Structure 1
């Protein structure tokens, strides 16, 4: 694929990611993706012969990779696990607030809408969550109950993002941050 083809493919994925993050699977219609990306309709089917499910699955994985990279970066730059989790929640809170409370978790909405009936999207969402859990587990290495803590922290973050989005307030993130700190002490 040439540079122009790769650029078009990236624009389609970026547009899908934007629509999925703010409106979920059902909020990302193909006509909306084409309009937002500025790509020709034929490019959509050329780059994503699997249709909408392939497009959404890859955009979920791309969004998941971006958050995963953030987790790894924050893990490397934070002196303690507690400071790491605080930094993660702060950055996710900033992202949520800057989007006018529209961008919580880039995976959760798709997971809730599709995973019971759509195996490819279930697998894409599962892979993302597994990678985030692994990033948390890596930072918790050596901590007693590290595996259980990684899942617990991920679940608390996911729940806090949902509540923060619903309440349009950072308070759930702040509360979860304090409770995770207490868990880690």
Structure 2
């Protein structure tokens, strides 16, 4: 694939991520992706012959890697696990607030809408969540309850994002950060 083709593909993935984050799977129609990305209709089927589910699945995985890279960067700058999770919540809260409370988790909406009806999207969502869980588990290495804590912390972060978006307030994230500090101490 040439540079122009890669750029077109990236624009479509960017547009899809934006649309699914703010409106979910159902809010990311193919016509909207084409209009938002400025890509020709034929490019959609050339780059994503599997259709919308392939496009959304790849967009979810890409967003998951972006968040994963952020987790790695934050892990390098925070010596304690509680400090790391607090920094993650701060980052995600900043992102959510800066978007006008429209961008919570890049995976959650699609997981809730489609995981029970689309195997490819369920797999994409599961892969992303598993990678984030693994990043948390790595920070908790050495603790006998690392597996349980990784799932618990991820669930608390996801719930905090949902509540913060719903209430349009950072308060749920701040409260969860404090309780995670207690849980991990």
Normalising by the smaller structure, the TM-score range is over 0.9
Structure 1 Cα separation of the partners of residues 138 and 184 of structure 2: 15
What does residue range 1-185 of structure 1 map to in structure 2 within 5 Å? 1-185=1-185
Question: Following TM superposition, by how much is the alpha carbon of 1:143 offset from its aligned partner in structure 2, in angstroms?
Answer: 2.1
The structural deviation recorded for 1:56 is 0.3
Q: CA deviation at 1:24?
A: 0.3
Query: TM-score, normalising length from structure 1?
Result: 0.99
Cα-Cα RMSD: 0.5
Runs of at least 5 residues in structure 1 that lack an aligned partner in the other structure: none
**Residues 124-143 of structure 1, C-alpha deviation per residue, up to 9 Å, x if partnerless?**
00000000000000111112
Moved more, 14-23 or 136-145: 136-145
Which 4+ runs in 1 deviate beyond 2 A?
A: none
Secondary structure, aligned partner of 1:27: coil
Cα shift at 1:77: 1.2
2-structure distance, mates of 1:85, 1:47 = 37
Number of positions where the alignment pairs a residue of Structure 1 with one of Structure 2: 185
